[in-house]
Amino acid sequence: MRFDIVTIFPGIFESIFSAGIIKKARDKGMIDIKIHDLRDYTTDKHRQVDDRPYGGLEGMVFKPEPVFKAVENIKQSTEKSLVCLLTPQGKLFNSALAEKLASYEQVILICGRYEGVDERVSDYLSDEEISIGDYVLSGGELAAAVVVEAVSRFVPGVVGREESVRHDSFSTGLLDFPQYTRPRDFRGYKVPPVLFSGDHQKIARWRLKKALEKTLAKRPDMLKSRKLSPQEEELLSEIQEERKES
Ligand code: 6GU
C-alpha cells in the first residue's frame, strides 16, 4: 500500500517514518510513503500556496490550484485510491476508518492548515475529510502521521502475528488488561499473585475481568455499544457487586 502526503512542511516526516514498525514495513516494501512539497506545484515566482480569504477576516487560506495540481500528479489511475483532506472539520478518525483506508492501494493525505483550505478542495477533490480529535492543530501534518501509523497496522504483515491476534483494544472492544514483568516486588508494589499460579484458565478469567473493570471505569461508552458474552456478563455483575461492597 502506498501513502502520498501533500504538505508545506515536508521535513517534519523524516524521523517519524524512520523508526519502529513503519521503518520495518517500508524496508520490507509492505508500505511506501512519499512526501510531496505543496510548493512544488505552484507556478509563481514566490511559490505561494495561500492567499487572503474572500469576504474578509484575518488568516490565510490554501489556494485550490496547487492542491489540485499536486493530487492530479500523484494519483495513480491504475490503483484504487482515496484522497483525504486532514482538517479539524473532518470525520473523527477511529480504528474502523483506519481499517477502511487500509483497503485502498493508494491513500493521498492532504495536510490542511487550521486557518483553512479553499472549500473547493473538499467539495471537488477529496473523497474523505478526516480529523484526529476535537482539538486544533496548526496543520494536518501530525494528524497525517497518526493516520499513516494506524492504517499501516491493518496492512497484512506489518504487525507481527503475536501482536495482532492479541487483545488489541479496539478489535476486542475492551481496553487492554494490565501487564506486568519482573521484578515481582518493585518497591513494595506487588504483581498480582494469580499471574504466577500457572492456572491458565484462571489467568484468562482474571485478565478478562480486569479488562472489563478498566473499560467500565475509563470508557463506559465502549461497553454500551458492545454485546457481552455470558462469561463477560457474569464477570460484570461480580465487578458491580464488589463495587457495592467497597
Ligand atoms: Cl486533521 N488538522 C488540524 N489542523 N487540526 C486537527 C486535526 C487535523 N485533527 C484534529 N485537530
Three cell numbers, residue 28: 520490507
Query: Residue range 95-118: average pLDDT?
Result: 96
> So what's the pLDDT on residue 86?
98
Q: What is the pLDDT of residues 7-20, one digit of tens each?
A: 999 999 999 999 99
3 state SS for the chain: CEEEEEECCHHHHHHHCCCHHHHHHHHCCCCEEEEEEHHHHCCCCCCCCEECCCCCCCCCEECHHHHHHHHHHHCCCCCCEEEEEEEEEEEECCHHHHHHHCCCCEEEEEECECCCECHHHHHHCCCEEEECCCCCCCECHHHHHHHHHHHHCCCCCCCCHHHHCCCCHHHHCCCCCCCCCCCCEECCEECCHHHHCCCHHHHHHHHHHHHHHHHHHHCHHHHHCCCCCHHHHHHHHHHHHHHHHC
**143 CA distance to ligand 1 middle (Å):** 6
- End-to-end Cα spacing for the chain: 52
**Does the beta carbon of 84 lie inside 6 Å of ligand 1?**
no
Q: What is the pLDDT of residues 122-131, one digit of tens each?
A: 999 999 999 9
> So what's the pLDDT on residue 164?
64
Looking at the predicted structure, is the pLDDT value of residue 167 above 70? Answer: no
Tally of CA atoms within 13 A in the half-sphere of 117 that contains its CB? 32
Is residue 166 very low, low, confident or very high in pLDDT (cuts 50, 70, 90)? low
> So what's the pLDDT on residue 246?
85
Closest approach atom of ligand 1 to CA 130: 1
**139 CA distance to ligand 1 middle (Å):** 7
Looking at the predicted structure, is the pLDDT value of residue 160 above 90? Answer: no
User: To which CATH superfamily is domain 2-152 assigned?
Assistant: SPOUT methyltransferase, trefoil knot domain (3.40.1280.10)
Q: What angle do CA 147, 158, 154 make, to 5 degrees?
A: 50
- Nearest residue (by CA) to ligand 1, atom 6, is 88
Q: CA-based Rg of the chain, rounded to a whole angstrom?
A: 23
Q: What is the pLDDT of residues 33-74, one digit of tens each?
A: 999 999 999 999 999 999 999 998 889 999 999 999 999 999
Query: Residue range 68-90: average pLDDT?
Result: 96
CA-wise closest residue to 108 among 70, 142, 143: 70
Q: What is the pLDDT of residues 211-241, one digit of tens each?
A: 999 999 999 999 998 999 999 999 999 999 9
Catalytically annotated residues: 88, 115, 153, 168
List, in order, residues 6 or more apart from 181 with CB less than 8 Å away: none
Three cell numbers, residue 1: 500500500
Query: Residue range 144-159: average pLDDT?
Result: 96
> So what's the pLDDT on residue 245?
92
Percent of the chain with pLDDT over 70: 98
Q: What is the pLDDT of residues 168-196, one digit of tens each?
A: 778 889 999 999 999 999 999 999 999 99
**109 CA distance to ligand 1 middle (Å):** 12
Pocket mutation for ligand 1, best pick of 111, 114, 115 (most atoms within 8 Å of C-beta) = 114
Architecture of domain 185-245: Orthogonal Bundle (1.10)
Query: Residue range 24-35: average pLDDT?
Result: 98
CA-wise closest residue to 229 among 178, 176, 177, 174: 174
Domains 2-152 and 185-245 share a fold: no
The model carries a pTM of: 0.94
**Does the beta carbon of 96 lie inside 6 Å of ligand 1?**
no
Give the start-to-end residue ranges of the domains of the chain: 2-152, 185-245
What residue type is 77 in one-letter code? Answer: S
Looking at the predicted structure, is the pLDDT value of residue 165 above 90? Answer: no
